[in-house]
Each structure stands twice: as structure tokens, then as C-alpha cells.
Amino acid sequence: MSPEQAATQPTVAPQPPVAPIVEARDVIHHFYGKHGTVTALENFSISVRPGEVLAIVGASGCGKTTFLNMVAGFLRPSAGKILFRGEPVRGIEPLCTMIFQQYALFPWKTVRKNVEFGPQMRGVSRKERTEIADLYLKMVGLVGFENSYPSQLSGGMRQRVALCRALANEPEVMLCDEPFAALDAMTRQVMQGELLRIVDESSKTVIFITHSIDEALIISDRVAVMSARPGRIKRIMQNDLPRPRHVEVQLSDEFLKMKREIWESVEEEVFASIRRQEGT
């Protein structure tokens, strides 16, 4: 391109960086008990972009769930800040919904009533509650089970109800604390695909805790590896594997390369945690 042609090209203004929807800044958190003080998080900092799926992996006890509880507003940091849309989280944040490993459904309520519970607490009309429940039950393939009770459903179906109930609260951020850990391998893989499809359709931000590196790579846009307690962010990997991430992707050289790198980072922290517990 000649200088004259370059001079006639339109100037494209640079796009401002997207502000994080969730951010931890130099967070420290202590738990106090009869055996002394335990520092769960120390100098913990991370930012989460709107609409992304961030997976967090790390050794048991490294503070993953502590971080989620702070974003939800169940805990407050001993020092540092947890921010939601740039403002400190000072109490339970209704726009950040938790999905637990245990289904946490009301056993005495039907599937529909479980999904409608959040909107009902917000004062949503019965007609609108019904429409909201129908929308999400259809989205996860539970049409026909509206009047069933949790005890009548399989584990995978119960977790779909839990997803529906979370979505019915119209959160901006879904906080997932190993939600598929109790499922068998095949159901777990189906639910991973369901979660990604729902996220794509609803544009939610997801922070997903898992002990499975495979699961982290299947669902995430980025993978954060935490150090052993006290938890810090050890490294963050961008995950550009093509979607949908079926078996073919999981057998690819790039998938296996990323899995190996993450495992090497996690393995160091697992051994550090074991040595600490043994007092060596």
C-alpha cells in the first residue's frame, strides 16, 4: 500500500478494554478455629470478563470454594477486595447465583415449583413465573417432568433442574462449585455440553470450579491454576480449542498438550499440599 493510499484509509478508533464483571484484588482470607488460624487465600487476584467461562483448578483446600463464596457474598475477605461490576461485594449478591455439587433442591416441591422459587421470592407474577419455568425446562429437555419430584429424577436430571433454578433467578454470573462431580462419567459429559449450550444461548458469565482438567478444558475459555494453600493464582491459560469440544477435540495434540501443562502445574501444588500436611 502506497503512502497516498494509506492516507485515504479510514481511521479505526481503538476499542476500550472491556471492564471485568468480577474481580479479586489482593484478597487475603483467614479462617479462625480452635487449632489456630488458617490462611485460605493470600495475595489472590484475578479478573473475569463478561460472558466468559473461567475454570479454576487446584489442589484440595487451596481456596477455590472460598473465592466463590466471596463472589456470592457469603464471605467477606479479611483484606483486599472482591468487586462485582466495579463495586465491592458487601452482602449476598443476587446477580451471582451458586450451583453446588449437591443438587440443593427442595424435595417437597415439584420440578416446576423448584424452578419458580426464585422468581416467586422476587414477587414475579404467577403467569410470568410459569413462562420463565417453561422457557428453561424446555431449554434443558425437561418438558414432561414439570410435576415430578426430585426423588423421581436421575442425578443428571436433578442437576438440570438446579441449572434451571439458577437461570430463573436471571443472574449475570453463575458460580459453579463442582456441579457435575457426583455424576457418572457419561452423564457428566452430557451435562458439560448442556452447560455450554445454555451459556451460549443466555450469554451468562460462568466461574466453574473443578478437579478435572479434562472438564476444565472442555467447558472453559480460560483455565486458572491455583497454588496450594494459601491459594494464589499460579497461572492462567487461554483455551482456544475449537467448539464444540467433542471426543475428536479431546484426542487432539493441542488438547493433550494443554492438559499436560496444566497437570504439571497442579501436580507441583498437590505435592506441596501433601508435604505441608505431613509436616515435612
pLDDT at 175: 95
Give the chain's domain count: 1
Residue at 137 is within a domain: yes
pLDDT at 61: 87
Taking Cα atoms as reference points, which of 247, 189, 243, 190 lies closest to residue 220? 243
Reading the block at residue 101, the C-alpha cell is 455439587
Residue at 56 is within a domain: no
pLDDT at 129: 92
Q: By residue range, what is the domain housing residue 111? A: 106-170
String of b and e for 215-240 (b: at least 16 CB within 10 Å)?
bbbbbbbbbbbbbbbbbbbbeebebe
Residue at 64 is within a domain: no
Residue at 175 is within a domain: no
pLDDT by residue for the chain (280 residues), tens digit each?
555 555 555 555 555 677 999 999 999 999 998 878 999 999 999 999 999 999 999 988 899 999 999 999 999 999 999 999 999 999 988 899 998 877 778 999 999 999 999 899 888 999 999 999 998 898 888 999 999 999 999 888 898 899 889 888 889 999 999 988 888 888 888 888 888 888 887 788 999 999 999 999 999 999 999 998 899 999 999 999 987 777 778 889 999 999 999 999 988 887 766 776 666 5
* pTM over cut 0.75: yes
Largest CA distance in the chain: 76
32 Cβ partners below 8 Å, 6+ apart?
Answer: 38
pLDDT at 11: 56
Residue at 268 is within a domain: no
d(CA 162, CA 102): 9
Residue at 67 is within a domain: no
Residue at 253 is within a domain: no
